Each structure stands twice: as C-alpha cells, then as structure tokens.
Chains A and B, each alone.
Chain A
C-alpha cells in the first residue's frame, strides 16, 4: 500500500531565507505527487503536482518541488520565505486509481 511521510512536524525559517518542507513516499508503481497548503480554519489549497516529465515542478505562490525517484522524495521548496507562507503543508500521493493518501502535515512558521 502506498504511504507518505513528512518527517518534520514543524519547520521554522526566517523571512527571506529559503525553505524546504520534506516529503518521502512509498508506492508500488509510478506515483502522482501533490502538495497542498492549509491556512488556519480553511480548506486545503492545491500548490503543485508531479505527474511526469521534468523532475522540477513549479507551482503557486513561488513554490516548487523536485521529484527524486531514487530517493523517493518530493520536497517542497521556496527560495525566499514570506511570513504569509506560515501554514500547514500536506504532501499527497495517488497511485493509478488507488486512494488519495495524504501525509501527516508539516507546520511551517516563517518568523519576521
């Protein structure tokens, strides 16, 4: 069965610094990978996805993620963090019609 791990419950970064939110996965085939963001008291919002092709995908709000098949990772990155990026970030996986599985979430705090 597929699974998603986000090894850090919390990531703190200073405003203006680069940020990374980590995600690793386990799946039997080739995965479709997603990142979502959840602001307080809101639903999840789609940021970006990897389906196929270029391993570096770019998404909303300046975020990008790199698919690394050998390391089974899909880390989310942004070159310069904003205080408004503070939120809960979820990595998710879908494996060819299997259930959509979300990671446990990582809380990002960007400090001014």
Chain B
C-alpha cells in the first residue's frame, strides 16, 4: 500500500549508458515531481507534471527526459549517463498544483555512474 513507489531502489551503471527510473503513486494525485539530491543533500526540483502535462522544467540537461503515460506515473529516462549524474533521485506527488499542497515523496533511487 505504498503511496509513492520508485524502481529501482539502486542503480549502478557505466558512463554513456541509458537508464530509466519509474515512479508510481496510488494517491490519486494530479501532480508529480522529480527531484535530484546530491551528495551534500541539496535537493533541487527537476520536473513537474500536472495531469500528464509538463509544468516545470528546470535547467536540466536534455539528456534527462520525463514521461508521464498517465497521471499516476512519471518516469525519468536518462541518456548518455555522466559521472555527475550520480545522486539520489526522488519522485513526489501532490494533490494538485496548488502551491499550498504538501508533497509526498518516494523512497528514492540511488544512481551511481562509474
């Protein structure tokens, strides 16, 4: 009955590879997010989708491409992985895009690029 789930939990891969991280929420929320948390624990928003439409696209390399097949899923595909992509990636969701709604976070995916 996990509210926001991510797979995989750990991802170890070589530079130059392409990988995907999946996220699903069963809360019936309209809005979903991807965040990157670096080794210093700084947390930065990457993307936000509302009802399958992109609403926030921060300054992220275009090697990162989010895809939302339906409002319960927001996947993150990364092409040509680089060492600097190593981080923990968190998916989150909120009831809708209203600013006053809190977000519910997934457990994170630790990506290590060798």
Contact = CB atoms under 8 A, between A and B. Distances in A.
Contacts of B99: 32, 94-98
A34 interface: yes
B108 interface: yes
Interface stretch (A18-26, A61-69, A77-85, A99-107): A99-107
A43 B100 CA distance: 20
Nearest to A45: B105
Interface residues of A, number: 25
Question: Which 9 A-B residue pairs are closest in the complex by CB-CB distance?
Answer: A43-B105, A46-B102, A94-B99, A102-B43, A44-B105, A51-B100, A105-B41, A43-B107, A32-B100
Interface residues of B, number: 22
28 contacts: A32-B99, A32-B100, A34-B102, A41-B107, A43-B90, A43-B92, A43-B108, A44-B103, A44-B105, A45-B105, A49-B102, A51-B100, A90-B43, A94-B99, A94-B100, A96-B99, A97-B97, A97-B99, A98-B99, A99-B45, A99-B56, A100-B33, A100-B45, A102-B42, A102-B44, A104-B40, A105-B41, A105-B43
B106 interface: yes
B104 interface: yes
Main secondary structure of the interface of B (DSSP, over half): loop
Nearest to B58: A99
B100 A49 contact: yes
Given A104-B40, A105-B42, 4 more contacts: A38-B41, A43-B107, A44-B90, A102-B42
B32 interface: no
Given A32-B99, A97-B99, A99-B56, A88 B41 contact: yes
Interface in B71-101: 90, 92, 97, 99-100
Interface in A25-77: 32, 34, 36, 38, 41-46, 49, 51
